[in-house]
Amino acid sequence: MAMKLTVLLADDHKIVRDGLSALISAEPDMKVVAECENGQDALDKTEQFKPNVVVLDIAMPGMNGIEVCRRITARHPRIKVIALSMHNDRRYVTKMLSAGATGYLTKDCAFDEFIKAIRVVAGGETYLSPKIAGDFV
């Protein structure tokens, strides 16, 4: 059997982490290796687990997702980062992409889209939510 895609979830809302974790765990080729509620924890657990993909909320207590993304991608260029945010504002998207993220999803996306984004970025491509992709064409 092929190696599972490892995913780290960072969001300050437990219900969001729990829901995403349960859904990801149902995918036969994916595994959640860690969940984090703040930016520093996300950095620490990324160092510890070195996941394939980090799903990062932008608005977290302490260090925000943009700074966390910048630090992760600087230290671990192979680790892919997907921003998961309630903001579909172009400024946030631009900041996350320039910090090194290769994916950006809005929190109102469907679960199928979320899973597709993880597979796309893990495969080395960029994934932007269709809602925001139009702004960048």
Q: Provide the H-helix boundaries in 64-108.
A: 65-75, 90-98
| Average pLDDT value for residue range 73-93 | 94
- pLDDT score for 95: 96
pLDDT of 54 strictly over 90: yes
pLDDT of 81 strictly over 80: yes
**What share of the chain has pLDDT > 70, as a percent?**
97
- pLDDT score for 130: 86
The bridge status of strand 103-106 relative to strand 127-128 is parallel
- pLDDT score for 2: 65
The predicted model scores a pTM of 0.95
**Domains of the chain and CATH, by start:** 36-51+65-136 (3.40.50.2300)
- pLDDT score for 19: 94
Cα 102–Cα 130–Cα 120 angle in degrees, nearest 5:
40
pLDDT of 13 strictly over 70: yes
E strands, the chain, where? 5-10, 30-36, 53-57, 80-85, 103-106, 127-128
**What share of the chain has pLDDT > 90, as a percent?**
86
pLDDT of 1 strictly over 80: no
